[in-house]
């Protein structure tokens, strides 16, 4: 298996973060602290970091300021949203669910959905996709 690393960016100049390998250790508290200390968190209503990315699976840690909204969109695969901190409102298929820390939801692909942060929130988005959808 070929290991994959991220490239350095202006937001994250250190680069060289492991994204895919036979075994990838993911320190969620460390990544949470990192994204809350970056300029994007200070200058906007959100920040995120991809903590794993392969041909079939992506895991993204997302932080939203209270009141931030991810407008209605779709995903090219099944998703799960697991709230680690705070409270969000997740809407899809004319249903709305308030999710608190420790709760999660799953959704099949191509279903329009939106997220509203009712409090400052951190959640883990997991996207499972087929190779052709990437």
- Which tens digits make up the pLDDT trace of 22-70? 999 999 999 999 999 999 999 999 999 999 999 999 999 999 999 999 9
Whether this prediction's pTM lies above 0.85 is answered by yes
Contacts of 99 (CB under 8 A, 6+ apart): 81, 83, 87, 88, 89, 90, 105, 123
Report the candidate in 37, 41, 64, 45 with the shortest Cα–Cα distance to residue 124.
64
CATH number of 4-133: 2.60.120.10
Instruction: Give domain limits for the chain.
Output: 4-133
Contacts of 12 (CB under 8 A, 6+ apart): 6, 38, 49
């Amino acid at each position: 298996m070929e290991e994959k690393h991220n490239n350095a960016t202006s937001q994250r100049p250190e680069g060289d973060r492991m994204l895919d390998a036979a075994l990838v250790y993911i320190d969620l508290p460390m990544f949470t602290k990192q994204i809350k200390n970056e300029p994007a968190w200070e200058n906007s209503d959100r920040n995120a970091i991809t903590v794993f990315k392969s041909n079939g699976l992506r895991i993204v840690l997302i932080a939203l300021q209270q009141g931030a909204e991810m407008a209605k969109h779709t995903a090219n695969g099944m998703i799960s949203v697991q709230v680690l901190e705070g409270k969000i409102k997740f809407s899809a298929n004319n249903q709305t669910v308030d999710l608190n820390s420790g709760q999660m939801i799953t959704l099949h692909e191509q279903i329009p959905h939106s997220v509203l942060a009712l409090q400052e929130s951190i959640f883990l988005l997991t996207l499972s996709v087929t190779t052709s959808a990437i």
